[in-house]
Amino acid sequence: MDYIINGFITGIKLLITGDQETYSAIFVTLKASSFSILLSLAIGIPAGFLIGYKDFPGKKQIRAITDTLLALPTVVVGLLVYAFISRKGPLGEFGLLFTIPGIVIAQIILVLPIVISLTATGIEGLDSRLKDTLKTLGAKGRQIAVTSIAEAKYAVFAAAVTAYGRAISEVGVSMMIGGNIKWDTRTITTTITLETGKGEFSMGIALGLVLLIIAFTVNWSLIFLKRRA
């Protein structure tokens, strides 16, 4: 038990003293996950609205595919993205492998189904009279979309929270696409994996605490908004 207690004490010291290696992993994680979530929301919310609001041929099939992709393994995403952006891949000329943009692309593929599926579910759960009311009031296109998404805001925010939680906690994508390069693409999760494998628990514990704080902060923000409403 002593090494666990000492690990916690040393880990907290690393955070308080501003250890550069520890904070480098934190900043890389926040940078990559924030970009991936913003782009995923920009794509996923409109797509989720269309799937949840419109009736069109093939809707059930698209919804089934999207729901299936919710359980997409991170290592499979990493493998596919690696194949495309490696030197021999079709996107190899862009030099995305072992870079933060490469991690962002892989995380978007990983979390986009979450945003689309949960947003579509929120839109489908709206009162059926809302659509008729909006049309009666003369609302069109963009106005209907904005109003509907606003009515389903908690479902949309829950989608964002769930997607962000998966983005910051995954290991496979960051390890395979980022390469776990120190000071460059090493994230919180890959650092924890590396340091624990080396028997260095202090940095792993420090970053684990940060990961928990981020997760709790994001989830409590959702609870806070619901209470305010």
For 141-186, the pLDDT digits (tens) are 778 888 888 888 888 888 998 899 889 888 888 889 998 888 899 9
CB 140 within 8 A of CB 149: no
- Of the two residues 11 and 174, the one the predictor is more confident about is 174
Among 6-15, 77-86, 169-178, the minimum mean pLDDT is found in: 6-15
Residue 118: pLDDT over 80 = yes
Q: How far is residue 159 CA from its own chain's centroid?
A: 9
Determine phi and psi for 176, rounding to 5 degrees: -75, -40
Return the amino acid letter for 89: G
pLDDT computed for residue 112 by the predictor = 95
Residue 2: pLDDT band with limits 50, 70, 90: low
Q: How does 169-198 read in b/e, with b if 16+ C-beta sit within 10 Å?
A: ebbbbbbbbbbbeeeebbbbbbbbbbbeee
Q: At what angle do helices 74-85 and 100-124 cross, to 10 degrees?
A: 130
Q: Distances in Å between the alpha carbon of 183 and those of 21, 56, 113, 179?
A: 7, 48, 30, 11
Start-end of H helices in 88-183? 100-124, 128-136, 141-151, 153-169, 172-173
The predicted-structure confidence for 176-216, as pLDDT tens digits, reads as follows 999 888 889 999 888 888 888 877 777 878 888 888 888 88
Cβ neighbours around 168 below 10 Å, total: 24
* Sequence ranges of the domains in the chain: 26-199
> What is the CATH T-level fold of the domain 26-199, as seen in this structure?
MetI-like fold (1.10.3720)
Q: Rank 46-60, 101-115, 162-176, 208-222 by mean pLDDT and report only the highest.
A: 101-115
Residue 109: pLDDT over 90 = yes
Q: What is the pTM of this model?
A: 0.89
